[in-house]
Amino acid sequence: MNLLIFGSTGGTGRQVVQQALEQGHTVTAFARDRSKLDIQHPNLKVVQGDVMDSTSVEKAVQDQDAVVCVLGAGQNMTSKIRSQGTQQIIQAMEKEGIQRFICQSTLGAGDSWENLNFFWKYIMFGFLLRKPFADHQLQEDYVKQSHLDWTIVRPGAFVDGEQTGNYRHGFPGNDKTSKLKISRADVADFILKQLIDDSYLHQTPSISY
């Protein structure tokens, strides 16, 4: 299918792009700096633009079958790019009549808070990553309020590693047995599986080892 990816130059975004191409999708990678994506493929189109620019976002979503959002803010702890960028994407999709939207958030958001241990609750999200976590919460609110066919994916902490396809997903919010980590490659694997599976339509599955 025709797949548009926002956040394509980040660690997870690159995995989504690469795996989507390997699966035969026609991929449009939306990037603020196209030079950061060095993947070459006949079915890959790289569009340079700012996710905060509604005109460029609307143009990018035209004729797409599905949109994936894996926006990140890098080292910027105060950025609102996840929530505000996602809001721009949603508005463009609703305007253009594009329905399928898969958005990456984080394990701990919403009703998955109790999955976390003390360290993640009170040191990371309670202190060090408090603002990025709040941005993810707001991002989820925008998605849930939309009229799209959405799925919010909540991964544990990113680690480097291969695509294994062997991970837990959709576990309950009071589960305490997760390792709270997962490779970017496996996150991308799960995201792309949602393109052909509606089991998690309008749901917020968590994924972790």
Contact assessment for residue 27 and residue 51, using Cβ atoms and an 8 Å cutoff: no
DSSP H/E element including 158: strand 157-159
The C-alpha atoms of residue 46 and residue 31 are separated, in whole angstroms, by 7
Q: Which of 57, 112, 115 has the alpha carbon at shortest distance from 87? A: 57
CATH class of 2-208: alpha beta
So where are the chain's domains?
2-208
Instruction: Enumerate residues 6+ apart whose C-beta is below 8 A from 77.
Output: 129, 131, 132
Q: Tell me the HSE value of 5 on the side-chain side, using a 13 A CA sphere.
A: 33
Amino acid at 201: L
pLDDT in tens, the chain (209 residues): 999 999 999 999 999 999 999 999 999 999 999 899 999 999 999 999 999 999 999 999 999 999 999 999 988 889 999 999 999 999 999 999 999 999 999 999 999 999 999 999 999 999 999 999 999 999 999 999 999 999 999 999 999 899 999 999 999 999 999 999 999 999 999 999 999 999 999 999 999 99
Task: Report the amino acid identity of residue 15.
Answer: Q
- The pair of structure tokens assigned to 205 is 């599955």
pTM for the full model?
0.96
145 residue type, one letter = Q
Q: How many Å apart are CA 48 and CA 46, to the nearest integer?
A: 6
Give the pLDDT score at 74: 86
pLDDT at 75: 86
pLDDT value of residue 26: 98
What CA–CA distances, in Å, run from 143 to 31, 138, 147, 153?
21, 9, 8, 11
